[in-house]
Amino acid sequence: MPKTPASYPNFALPCDPRLTQAALDFRRRHAPALTSARYLGGINVTAWLYVDRTGARQVQVNPNITIDELIRQFGPAETPDAEVGIHSEMRAGEWFRLHPRFRVLQIFSERIPCPKMCAPMLRAYFPGVPWYYYYDRRSWLGPNGSLIKHPAEVLKTVYSL
């Protein structure tokens, strides 16, 4: 069983354990498994708890789409600043935009949603919905600004891999 994630806001109710388990299960079921340091560091998985039309609680899981994957599929971007992957939170947000009858209850993302795109989108379109996460880069910066722990190291620990 994965460890309990941190929450935003910090006074939110505990994260539904189905979310972290769904993210881990997604990593294990993928071919190849997304449990190596390379994939733990390069892929962020998000799992959202929602209520469907019948009142049943369901989980929607989405990984990010890496820039390498986009380049393989579409070729390089016209400018280097346009070479950005598609964040897992944005993919999930779009899925829920296309399914407006579903009500989101909790959002889990292995990494805290980015402050430039994902966090503002979540605040705007899913206000009041708590977020849960394992890795916040700001928590792992050393005194000289260098990174003390990378996402793969933290995820290996919380998932007991």
Which pLDDT belongs to residue 65? Answer: 77
Going from N- to C-terminal start, the domains of the chain cover 6-158
Which pLDDT belongs to residue 144? Answer: 86
Across 28-47, average pLDDT = 94
Condensed to tens digits (0 to 9), the pLDDT of residues 97-135 reads: 999 999 999 999 999 999 999 999 999 999 999 999 999
Q: 105 to each of 9, 21, 99, 128, 137, how far by Cα in Å?
A: 14, 16, 14, 9, 25
Condensed to tens digits (0 to 9), the pLDDT of residues 39-85 reads: 999 999 999 999 999 999 999 999 987 666 755 666 776 776 655 66
Query: What fold characterizes domain 6-158?
Result: Cytidine Deaminase; domain 2 (3.40.140)
Which pLDDT belongs to residue 4? Answer: 95
The DSSP code sequence of 34-49 is: S-SHHHHHH--EEEEE
Q: Report the share of the chain in percent with pLDDT over 70.
A: 89
> Going by DSSP bridges, is the β-strand pair 57-63/45-51 parallel, antiparallel, or unpaired?
antiparallel
Whole-number Å distance between alpha carbons of 106 and 75 = 35
The set of residues, in sequence order, having a beta carbon less than 8 Å from that of 7 and lying 6+ positions away, is: 14, 15, 130, 131, 132
Q: Report the share of the chain in percent with pLDDT over 90.
A: 74
Residue 159 has pLDDT above 70, yes or no: yes
Six-digit token pair at 142? 């050393």
Which pLDDT belongs to residue 26? Answer: 96
Condensed to tens digits (0 to 9), the pLDDT of residues 91-105 reads: 999 999 999 999 999
Residue 32 has pLDDT above 80, yes or no: yes
Whole-number Å distance between alpha carbons of 59 and 48 = 5
